[in-house]
Structure 1
Amino acid sequence: MKVEVESLDSVRKNIEVVLDESKVNELREGIYQDLKKHAKIKGFRPGKVPRSIIQTYYKDYIEDELKRKMVEETMGDALSETKVEPVSEPRVEFLEDEGRFGYKMECEVVPEFETPPYKGIEVEAEKIDVTEEDIAKRLESMQQMHTQLMDREGDQPAQKGDFVIVKYEASHDGKPVKGVKAESYPLDLGSANLTPEFENGIVGMKVGEEKEIAIPFAADYPDKDVAGKTLLFKVELKEIKEKKLPELNDDFAKDLSFENMDQLRAEVKKGLETEKEGQRKNIIAEQIVNSLLEKSDFPVPARMAQKRAEMLVEDARSRMKVGTLSDEEDRSLNTALLKEYEPEAQKRIKMGLILAKIAEQEGLKVEDSEVDERLQRIAEETKRAYDYIREFYEKYNLRGNLKTSMLEEKTMNLLIENAAVKEKQ
Structure 2
Amino acid sequence: MKIEVKEISELGREINFEIEEEIVNREKERIIKELKKNVEIEGFRKGKVPERIIELRFSSLIKENLLKRIIPDAYLKAIKENNLHPAVDPEIREVKFDDGKLFLKIYTEIKPEFDIKKYKNLVLKKVKPEEITEEKVENTLKEWERRPEFAASIVDPEKRRLWRKKIREQLEYIAKREATLKEEEQLWKQLLQQVEFPVPEKLVYERARRYTEEHLRRMDLKGKTDSEIEKLANEYFEKFKPIARQDLKKYFILDKIAEKENIIPDEKEVEERIMHLSRITGKPLDEIKKNLERTGKIEDLKEEIRIKKAFDFVKENAQVIERVVLPGEVRGEGK
Say whether the 8 Å CA contact 1:305–1:342 is kept in structure 2. yes
2:155 maps to what in 1? Answer: 244
1:399 counterpart letter in structure 2: I
My pick for the range that moved more, 103-112 or 78-87, is 78-87
Say whether the 8 Å CA contact 2:140–2:167 is kept in structure 1. no
Change (3 A) 1:295 1:64: same
Say whether the 8 Å CA contact 1:127–1:423 is kept in structure 2. no
User: Is it true that 1:400 corresponds to 2:311 in the alignment?
Assistant: no
Residue of structure 1 aligned with 2:257, choices 353, 358, 362: 358
1:316 maps to what in 2? Answer: 215
Deviation at 1:5, TM superposition (A): 4.2
Deviation at 1:349, TM superposition (A): 1.3
Paired-residue identity, %: 24
Instruction: Please list the CA deviations of residues 244-287 of structure 1 after superposition, one character each: whole Å capped at 9, or x if unmatched.
Output: 231599xx68xx9xxxxxxx99x999987665443322111123
SS of the aligned residue for 1:107 comes to strand
Deviation at 1:29, TM superposition (A): 3.2
- 1:177-188 → structure 2 map (5 Å cutoff): none
Gaps of 5+ in 1: 146-159, 164-185, 189-240, 257-263
Deviation at 1:372, TM superposition (A): 0.7
2:274 maps to what in 1? Answer: 375
Distance in 2, Cα, partners of 1:387 & 1:89: 29
Distance in 2, Cα, partners of 1:62 & 1:387: 38
Distance in 2, Cα, partners of 1:386 & 1:56: 49
Deviation at 1:404, TM superposition (A): 2.0
Distance in 1, Cα, partners of 2:169 & 2:193: 36
Distance in 2, Cα, partners of 1:291 & 1:279: 19
Change (3 A) 1:94 1:364: same
Distance in 2, Cα, partners of 1:6 & 1:162: 62
Distance in 2, Cα, partners of 1:111 & 1:327: 38
Say whether the 8 Å CA contact 2:18–2:103 is kept in structure 1. yes
2:23 maps to what in 1? Answer: 23
Say whether the 8 Å CA contact 2:2–2:17 is kept in structure 1. yes
Change (3 A) 1:422 1:38: same
2:108 maps to what in 1? Answer: 107
Distance in 2, Cα, partners of 1:360 & 1:19: 35
1:196 maps to what in 2? Answer: none
Change (3 A) 1:408 1:419: farther
TM-score by length of 2: 0.73
1:88 maps to what in 2? Answer: 88
Which has a greater percent of strand?
1
Say whether the 8 Å CA contact 2:126–2:183 is kept in structure 1. yes
Say whether the 8 Å CA contact 1:5–1:16 is kept in structure 2. yes
Instruction: Please list the CA deviations of residues 225-260 of structure 1 after superposition, one character each: whole Å capped at 9, or x if unmatched.
Output: xxxxxxxxxxxxxxxx695231599xx68xx9xxxx
User: Is it true that 1:70 corresponds to 2:38 in the alignment?
Assistant: no
SS of the aligned residue for 2:13 comes to strand
Say whether the 8 Å CA contact 1:285–1:412 is kept in structure 2. no
- 1:103-142 → structure 2 map (5 Å cutoff): 103-115=104-116, 117-122=118-123, 124-128=125-129, 130=131, 133=133, 137-138=136-137
Instruction: Please list the CA deviations of residues 341-395 of structure 1 after superposition, one character each: whole Å capped at 9, or x if unmatched.
Output: 2112111111101011012222322112111122223434555543343334334
1:91 counterpart letter in structure 2: E
Which has a greater percent of helix?
2
Distance in 1, Cα, partners of 2:25 & 2:68: 14
SS of the aligned residue for 2:104 comes to strand
Gaps of 5+ in 2: 325-333
User: Is it true that 1:349 corresponds to 2:248 in the alignment?
Assistant: yes
- 1:4-403 → structure 2 map (5 Å cutoff): 4-30=4-30, 32=32, 38=39, 45=43, 66-92=66-92, 93-94=94-95, 100-115=101-116, 117-122=118-123, 124-128=125-129, 130=131, 133=133, 137-138=136-137, 163=148, 244-246=155-157, 276-323=175-222, 326-403=225-302
SS of the aligned residue for 2:17 comes to strand
2:215 counterpart letter in structure 1: A
1:402 counterpart letter in structure 2: L
1:111 counterpart letter in structure 2: P
Rg bigger for which structure? Answer: 1
Say whether the 8 Å CA contact 2:127–2:183 is kept in structure 1. no
SS of the aligned residue for 1:295 comes to coil
Two-structure CA RMSD over aligned residues (Å):
4.3
